[in-house]
Structure 1
């Protein structure tokens, strides 16, 4: 079974995407710099000042949708795609209702019921979601001014399939923003398909796959924090990079 279809991960990701800082990490030390990762991906990744009027965006691996909604602050149309039907169902509920119940695990069997929400200042009508495989994006999806793919490529069986499709998805001059912790695991990606000569240098492999159709603008480190329960968190550092379509 795909672990991303489990209710446990669905609840975890609803909290990861939408819960407030206090609801996720109620401590005054460490960790807080890594909160709001999906929002930061949308607002710090693409350069909003260089997006054209009426920009069209594609959010690949959108999970439960926070980045897609945040992209709608600067884009007139956003499509979010994820492989998990459970995640897409939750994202669609957020799009329709603006909110979704979420169960936060605290300790053992102790939980807290939350009602997570999309910021009311966001025009949710600009966003749509669909289930799909980032390795086989439908042919009639068109082209975009910005494509975002956060923490996705090291969860694909064949990441090169996506990387080879990206030039067709972006308009000339369009922006590509990617993050990845390069957590290669055989259960998701056969080692023969790890970028960078078996992950000797994954970013070099990513760069080789994208050039010359894309030119690297900037890269930086982006920490993110996923809460498992009140005293256990996953703190990871994603490699972020912004690219321009030639």
Structure 2
């Protein structure tokens, strides 16, 4: 079946449509370059707007992610995996603590942009202002990041039969830490991804799951959702994703902490998506 056409002018903040093709447009790359690397006063120029979560790459500096830092004496070979890395903001931030970071994303456009950021340290992008008016800006990797520590690759269909994070290649891992930021509710088979994690992460390693739990049938079939519904068969009035994750992940991981992680995505000069993702830090038993 042919993939549905994607409106290349639609912002990634739109809940209309969906599917991986939404991230294979120039507009998506530009919005995510701004999301990951934009200057706070460019992303949110108004004092009345939220400042928390600017820019996205500070996620890996947040307290919820500090637990992922390799133990003293083990940092030399420690490897972190950023699944759903987009244009690489969190991958570069992880490189402050890890000498080896691999960012993986389904979108070839995102991976191409991330590799440009790795090679040059910067990339020009166009920010929407109003209607047809735009502003030219530059995304830049922070100067204190050693870009040579990071590499990026697309989730290739030759290795992953679905071509996404649901079926990571068997030869990948084990690694010391996995970050999956704003990924779970964009997977067609989230339980398949979760089932892969015990073999992907070393004993004592860290898993950081961050998600706003924005379940939509365009991304994940209703029967595959981890939460956000009522379970009449089990007479449960509400099924929440966080509770499901504790059941699905708890057999192999110990929950270290939970935090709220705000984020801001700018669509244009006067329209933004402000969200709060739920972060859970787990340690492999």
Into which bin does the TM-score normalised by the smaller protein fall?
Answer: over 0.9
Equivalent residue runs for 1:52-91 within 5 Å: 52-54=74-76, 55-91=78-114
Equivalent residue runs for 1:160-199 within 5 Å: 160-196=191-227, 198=229
Query: Counterpart of 2:45?
Result: 26
Query: Counterpart of 1:97?
Result: 120
11, 19, 27: which one aligns with 2:30? 11
Whole-angstrom distance in 2 between the partners of 1:149 and 1:229: 27
The structure with more radius of gyration? 2
Query: Counterpart of 1:134?
Result: 165
- Find out whether 1:228 has 2:267 as its counterpart: yes
Residues 204 and 83 of structure 1, relative CA distance in 2, 3 Å threshold: same
Whether the 8 Å contact between 2:185 and 2:215 is mirrored in structure 1 is yes
Equivalent residue runs for 1:202-217 within 5 Å: 202-217=241-256
Secondary structure (helix, strand or coil) at the match of 1:175 reads strand
Report how far residue 24 of structure 1 moved: 0.8
Report how far residue 10 of structure 1 moved: 1.0
Report how far residue 129 of structure 1 moved: 0.2
Unaligned residue ranges in structure 2 (runs of 5+): 1-5, 7-20, 156-163, 231-238
Q: Which has the higher helix share?
A: 1
Whether the 8 Å contact between 2:70 and 2:176 is mirrored in structure 1 is no
Whole-angstrom distance in 1 between the partners of 2:251 and 2:228: 19
Whole-angstrom distance in 2 between the partners of 1:97 and 1:201: 42
- Listed one character per residue, the Cα deviations across residues 96-143 of structure 1 (whole Å, up to 9, x for unaligned) are 111111111111111110111111221101100000121111121221
Which 10-residue stretch deviates more, 30-39 or 197-206? 197-206
Whole-angstrom distance in 1 between the partners of 2:284 and 2:263: 27
Query: Counterpart of 1:149?
Result: 180
Q: Which TM-score applies when normalising by structure 1?
A: 0.96
Whole-angstrom distance in 2 between the partners of 1:33 and 1:123: 26
Report how far residue 42 of structure 1 moved: 4.9
Secondary structure (helix, strand or coil) at the match of 1:171 reads strand
- Find out whether 1:243 has 2:265 as its counterpart: no
Secondary structure (helix, strand or coil) at the match of 1:239 reads strand
Whether the 8 Å contact between 1:98 and 1:117 is mirrored in structure 2 is yes
Whole-angstrom distance in 2 between the partners of 1:23 and 1:6: 22
Whether the 8 Å contact between 2:60 and 2:94 is mirrored in structure 1 is no
Whole-angstrom distance in 2 between the partners of 1:72 and 1:170: 18
Whether the 8 Å contact between 1:99 and 1:116 is mirrored in structure 2 is yes
Report how far residue 38 of structure 1 moved: 2.8
Which 10-residue stretch deviates more, 96-105 or 48-57? 48-57
Unaligned residue ranges in structure 1 (runs of 5+): none
Structure 1 residue ranges (4+ consecutive) displaced by more than 6 angstroms after TM superposition: none
Q: Which TM-score applies when normalising by structure 2?
A: 0.83
